[in-house]
Amino acid sequence: MHKAISLMYHEVVEERAFDASERDANLYNLEHAEFERHLSAIAEAAGGGAPGLVEEFWEESRGGRIPVYLTFDDGGAGACRAAGLLERRGWRGHFFLATNWIGKPGFLTADQVRGLRRKGHAVGSHSCSHPLRMRELAWKSLVREWSESVEIISGILGERVRMASVPSGSYTVKVGRAAARAGIRVLFTSEPTAAAGMVDGCLVLGRYVVTRRTSPGEAAALARGDFWPCYRQALCWKAKKAAKITAGGLYERLRAAAFRWGAAG
């Protein structure tokens, strides 16, 4: 079985600037200095290795190595800060953009998106509108979310975009098939697993989530694939998945309230 360990970050912000992008994702934003501590811990855990890019997945898998990837969702302006810190170490990351937000206050501009790519980072889709319950969209809407976002980013970069990440952890096989229909060949989900899968020719990879409450040591443990931190996230994920199915829209409202509480805490 092919495997990869991927960590899901969002924005890197200045000290206490958790509302920099004007949305309810502040629980996922890390301060600049804390993110640097995360990178130092991950570097130490890697033992001389370094997080890579998913385009090398098959080569690394054939070599028996479990690759580590760093990903960043949403396309907030803090992505440039994160990219700069990666570049200092000679590392590169994966940045996924919700295209309806490109150029909006607190988010990346088209020039900044091109800058990320010029510096060697991978850039991909995070849908157009970042639907909270993407799995519930009709097939045509799913394909449109992926296809239009891919076209927009491809137009900005002048090259075909073939990777994406699923917003709000709302993945099903149908979501993967719609991504494959849109020409996406690598899709990151939010399911905490190292196991890789395939859906209609699209490589599907899970991710371990990192929040403000994740310590540098825990981030390093996740990057190493240590059993207990990974297992705890898997258990939590299963509980959340059951809650989403049971509570539906109520779950999302409670989730938004939790984000606001986290930003104030």
Average pLDDT (207-229) is 96
Contact in structure between 163 and 95 (CB atoms under 8 Å):
no
Nearest-angstrom CA–CA distance, 1 and 197: 9
Q: Is 37 in contact with 216 (CB distance < 8 Å)?
A: yes
pLDDT of residue 245: 65
For residue 72, the Cα-to-chain-centroid distance in whole angstroms is 4
Q: Are 140 and 176 in contact (CB under 8 A)?
A: no
pLDDT computed for residue 247 by the predictor: 61
Residues written for the chain: 265
**Residues 195, 137, 75, CA angle at the centre, nearest 5°?**
65
The Cα–Cα gap between 50 and 20 comes to 29
pLDDT above 70 (res 24): no
pLDDT at 244: 66
For residue 179, what are the β-bridge partners? none
Q: What is the pTM of this model?
A: 0.90
Can you tell me the distance from the alpha carbon of 116 to that of 170, in angstroms, rounded to the nearest whole number?
26
| Residue 110 host element (H or E) | helix 110-118
Handedness of CA 116, 117, 122, 125 (dihedral sign): positive
**Element spanning 164, H or E:** strand 163-165
| Max Cα–Cα distance, the chain, nearest Å | 46
Q: Is the pLDDT score of 22 beyond 70?
A: no
- pLDDT tens for residues 170-210? 999 999 999 999 999 999 999 999 999 999 999 999 999 99
- Please give the radius of gyration of the chain, using alpha carbons only, rounded to the nearest integer: 17
pLDDT at 262: 38
Nearest-CA neighbor of 110 among 79, 146, 70, 153? 153
> CA–CA separation, 224 vs 194, rounded Å?
11
Q: What token pair was written down for 195?
A: 């196991």
As given in the structure block, the two tokens for residue 90 are: 């000679």
